[in-house]
Structure 1
Amino acid sequence: MHLIAATVLTLTLVSICAANVINAPVSQAKNPIWRTGNVPRQLRPFKPNLRPLRQKSKHPILPIRKPEQAPTKRRFYERPKKPQHKFYEWPAQYLRQDNEQPVRDYRVTATARDIQLTNFYDILYHGPISIGTPEQSFNVTFNTASPRTWVPSVHSIPDYNNSKFKTYNNKTSSTYIPNGFGFEASYGEGKVAGYLSQDNINIAGLTARNQIFGEAIVESDIFEDTTNHGVLGLGLSDEEPTVFDNMVERGLLPAPVFSFYLNRLNSNDPDSVLTLGGTNPAYYVGDFTFADVTVPDSWQFKMDRIQFSNGTGIFNGWGCQAVVDSSTPLIIGPKEEVDVLNRKLGGTPLSGDETMYELDCSEVDGLPDVEFIVNGKKLSMSSKDYVVKMHVGTDSLCYSGILGSSWKQNESPVWILGMSFMRVYYTQFDKGNKRIGFAKAITFEHAILNK
């Protein structure tokens, strides 16, 4: 579609250009807008009479604008800069609009990339990323429950600017772009707050340019006890473009899919891996069981029911909702249902804590499998997968890894399938088809047989 050229040599050329405008389905805007690539050149002043054309046409004619009004290219996801730091959500006018398309980077071959993750005592898995130019390195948790990405700022309170904690210094990065809006995020009992910035974020040799992320200046004490330097958000969001979205839209990945393989601590299983751009058949066996995402802003899906392999106990026979969360160590469910389930396993609530249940270690091996029915298929977990064993001196303590909670999402109780579930099932998150897939994760025994 062409706008009327500002330079014409004959009246015939004027009529042709006008006809192109008439046939174009252009909506009238309050202020005239140039479309990318249609920047006319003006050799001499000329103002055609468009009134007769407007009267005959069903579509409005956009008025000509002066060449100096032609827009310049905006950076990917660039927001107007505001020198304020208030904690509120991004206003709609600063969110990416549908007509803002990122520039695809054709210099990079779109192939799936594996990122090796480190298992930190089975309570979190973190991997390397870098931010800025020159690159500043961090170990972050890859979190499927939130789209937010953040790292500690050099201005953090308390001061984490020491050898133990890595911090981001925007003054040393030549690709830093200030943003100015504030952010805050909650992770169970942990909270962080700070302000948003833009910079290049690199993962496994792929660069998400001009990506918005958070510089955390206030963090809860719980973050002091880990080797984690921040969070990279992989959650679903139509409003907050994630690092993964950035890479997909730039053509850096072959498919809008990422997948997790999580190993067990102190095992001979292969190293944990996050695959961007697809799945890696080396880490799972059999076919995938898929479930469609049921809400637009979360990796939530419908679970048919939960049952025991020995035929006793059927919970949520009418169906329930569940989310897969790569940042939650265990499995969490509605308190009342978890209470029934754990009591059938012989569990006893801990004194003063109705969310955790102690089990008899001598009976753990005889406990039935817990089966999560998804799309008619059984996803089973044995007692070695859902029981947590602790050794205190010469004594052993056993607890159920299925905890109760009053947490709700969209006012409805939801099951959270955390890392203990993901260690059993290789999980793919297919954003293109809005679905989640589960396949049996390989173990050391599988790896030996496949060699």
Structure 2
Amino acid sequence: MTWLIAIALLQATTVLGRRFTVPLDKQVVPVKVNGNVVSHKTAYFGTIFVGQPKPQEFTVVFDTGSGHLFLPSKECEDEACKVHRRYDRSLSASVQEINHDGSQVAQPSDGQDEERDSVSIAYGTGEILGSFVKEVVCIGSPAGTDPSYEADGNLSQVPHCSSARVVLAKEMSAEPFTAFGFDGVLGLGLDSLALHPEFHLFGQLANGSALQPIFGVFLARHQGVGSEVTFGGHNEYRAQGPLGWVPVTSPQLGHWRVQILRVYAGTKALPLCEDGECHAIVDTGTSILGAPSKAMRSLLSMTARRMPTETEPSQQASESQDCRRVPGPPLIFELANGVSLVLEAEEYSRPAPSQITSSATKQKFSICRASILPVDMPALGSKVFLFGEPVLQKYYTAFDYGGQRVGFALAEQPPPVVVV
């Protein structure tokens, strides 16, 4: 009963705390190996505004797997920078040139910028090298659109704006940034992922206003339906029921990391997790369902099934050869506090079957496999899963920065939009 009362109060306070929602665009980028498309990366991104009095507009991925806001700098001459909007220091009166510890530095000039503090940050297969500024950052819309904004630039009552430290990229790798339509990345991991708490924009927002320290993510499954991130609470209309909350384990590592007590494929338990010591990182910046390398053989075997012989010759091959239509065991992740996440076969399967030839009979047949990629993150443990897009599309997910917990509820997915 106490738990139910606490949730009710939290939701009421969130509404009063002026939560706001940012729509997200979606981009699907093919991943090629030796010139062949082997998979796709999906990115969900929204708009931010940086600087005063005339804010500069950028698009960023809202990434729970990283801890900094980075943007391309005008000084960057790499192709990956030039194909995106670049932050221009000269257009902002609010910028402060700083080192990573917040100490002031002289205005950069030719040959001087190299003596400043810099940082190298890896993002998946990419990397950036950047320096630091302190700036005014607004999520979703400029500060002036809020009725509580004061002409003197006071942002204390503007829930979606804050002063924060920003990494400005002076070098960006071509892969993967050149192919992406967004400009930068806004890290929404825990603040221990950042060099300093002032790099953590959401923490700065929550500390500087009446904003509740919670944000919720909805990723649409169907084309034509918008995705979104809500700050200051969660959008209960995007969830089918109340959130089931799971505590973050080892928050000092900076990730939204939750304990997995058991993993099942149907009724078969995954041996690796039978001791209750597996974990999962909930990551809005990844397209995949990832599993520990040492569990891959078992998981693929437990979820594999043979594609039935085609019985309807008139059926189009593209339909009859889609593994998402072939029944298979559900993948079940049992978490703490009685929360379970379930992915059905259609939600975890690769669409195209694998062609197998029997060594004994030489007979060819098709096997349906799970779309799971191996994950190796030694610093976070040897039994870590990655909950990316497949989980986040099925479950509306809320991230409680103050309470260090993650909430899950089945997402209320609207039907696909039919374009006539």
- Deviation track 1:266-303 (CA, whole Å, cap 9, x = no partner) reads 3x5x4101000001111011222211111122211111
* Residue equivalent to 1:111: 18
Query: Do residues 264 (structure 1) and 184 (structure 2) align?
Result: no
- For structure 1, list consecutive stretches of 5 or more residues without a partner in the other structure: 1-108, 349-359
> Contact 2:323/2:352 (CA < 8 Å) preserved in 1?
no
* Residue equivalent to 1:377: 339
Question: What is the aligned counterpart of 2:191 among 201, 213, 237?
Answer: 237
| Percent of aligned pairs sharing the same letter | 24
Question: What is the aligned counterpart of 2:87 among 168, 192, 199?
Answer: 168
SS at 1:193's partner residue? Answer: strand
Query: Do residues 434 (structure 1) and 404 (structure 2) align?
Result: yes
Question: What is the aligned counterpart of 2:246 among 277, 291, 297?
Answer: 291
* Residue equivalent to 1:141: 61
- Deviation track 1:350-388 (CA, whole Å, cap 9, x = no partner) reads xxxxxxxxxx74585211111111123321111221123
> Contact 2:119/2:131 (CA < 8 Å) preserved in 1?
yes
| Distance 1:265-1:362 versus aligned 2 partners, 3 A rule | closer
* Residue equivalent to 2:268: 312
Q: Report the Cα distance in structure 1 between the residues aligned to 2:282 and 2:233, rounded to whole angstroms.
A: 18
* Residue equivalent to 1:191: 127
- Deviation track 1:149-205 (CA, whole Å, cap 9, x = no partner) reads 10001111315565x410001111110100133122112211111101111001134
> Contact 2:97/2:134 (CA < 8 Å) preserved in 1?
yes
* Residue equivalent to 1:387: 349
- For structure 2, list consecutive stretches of 5 or more residues without a partner in the other structure: 1-15, 29-40, 100-116, 142-158, 307-320, 354-365
Q: Report the Cα distance in structure 2 between the residues aligned to 1:287 and 1:446, rounded to whole angstroms.
A: 24
Q: Match for 1:185: what amino acid?
A: I
Q: Alignment length, in residue pairs?
A: 319
- 1:429 shift after superposition: 0.4
Q: Report the Cα distance in structure 2 between the residues aligned to 1:140 and 1:397, rounded to whole angstroms.
A: 38
Q: Match for 2:240: what amino acid?
A: V
> Contact 2:305/2:367 (CA < 8 Å) preserved in 1?
no
Structure (1 or 2) with the larger CA radius of gyration: 1
Q: Match for 1:438: what amino acid?
A: F
Q: Report the Cα distance in structure 2 between the residues aligned to 1:428 and 1:281, rounded to whole angstroms.
A: 10
> Contact 1:119/1:265 (CA < 8 Å) preserved in 2?
no
| Distance 1:362-1:199 versus aligned 2 partners, 3 A rule | closer
Q: Report the Cα distance in structure 2 between the residues aligned to 1:150 and 1:211, rounded to whole angstroms.
A: 11
* Residue equivalent to 1:203: 139
- 1:406 shift after superposition: 2.4
| Distance 1:442-1:317 versus aligned 2 partners, 3 A rule | same
SS at 1:140's partner residue? Answer: strand
Q: Report the Cα distance in structure 1 between the residues aligned to 2:394 and 2:213, rounded to whole angstroms.
A: 23
| Distance 1:390-1:184 versus aligned 2 partners, 3 A rule | farther
| Distance 1:159-1:188 versus aligned 2 partners, 3 A rule | closer
SS at 1:123's partner residue? Answer: strand
- Deviation track 1:53-105 (CA, whole Å, cap 9, x = no partner) reads xxxxxxxxxxxxxxxxxxxxxxxxxxxxxxxxxxxxxxxxxxxxxxxxxxxxx
| Distance 1:398-1:328 versus aligned 2 partners, 3 A rule | farther
Q: Report the Cα distance in structure 1 between the residues aligned to 2:45 and 2:264, rounded to whole angstroms.
A: 32
Q: Match for 2:284: what amino acid?
A: S
Q: Report the Cα distance in structure 2 between the residues aligned to 1:216 and 1:141, rounded to whole angstroms.
A: 15
Q: Match for 1:260: what amino acid?
A: V
* Residue equivalent to 2:258: 301
SS at 2:87's partner residue? Answer: coil
Which deviates the most, 279-288 or 398-407?
398-407
| Distance 1:129-1:321 versus aligned 2 partners, 3 A rule | same
* Residue equivalent to 1:213: 166
Q: Report the Cα distance in structure 2 between the residues aligned to 1:317 and 1:160, rounded to whole angstroms.
A: 45
> Contact 1:117/1:125 (CA < 8 Å) preserved in 2?
yes
> Contact 2:64/2:188 (CA < 8 Å) preserved in 1?
yes
| Distance 1:410-1:346 versus aligned 2 partners, 3 A rule | closer
| Distance 1:182-1:265 versus aligned 2 partners, 3 A rule | farther
> Contact 1:342/1:400 (CA < 8 Å) preserved in 2?
yes
Q: Report the Cα distance in structure 2 between the residues aligned to 1:365 and 1:390, rounded to whole angstroms.
A: 11
* Residue equivalent to 2:298: 340
Q: Report the Cα distance in structure 2 between the residues aligned to 1:178 and 1:298, rounded to whole angstroms.
A: 29
> Contact 1:160/1:166 (CA < 8 Å) preserved in 2?
no
> Contact 1:151/1:167 (CA < 8 Å) preserved in 2?
yes
Q: Report the Cα distance in structure 1 between the residues aligned to 2:160 and 2:324, rounded to whole angstroms.
A: 51
- 1:440 shift after superposition: 0.3
| Distance 1:427-1:362 versus aligned 2 partners, 3 A rule | closer
Q: Report the Cα distance in structure 2 between the residues aligned to 1:363 and 1:204, rounded to whole angstroms.
A: 36
> Contact 1:313/1:341 (CA < 8 Å) preserved in 2?
no
> Contact 2:131/2:168 (CA < 8 Å) preserved in 1?
yes
SS at 1:154's partner residue? Answer: coil
| Distance 1:182-1:390 versus aligned 2 partners, 3 A rule | farther
| Distance 1:257-1:346 versus aligned 2 partners, 3 A rule | same
SS at 1:409's partner residue? Answer: helix
In angstroms, what is the RMSD of aligned CA positions? 2.5
> Contact 2:62/2:285 (CA < 8 Å) preserved in 1?
yes
- Whose relative contact order is higher, 1 or 2, with alpha carbons under 8 Å and at least 6 apart? 2
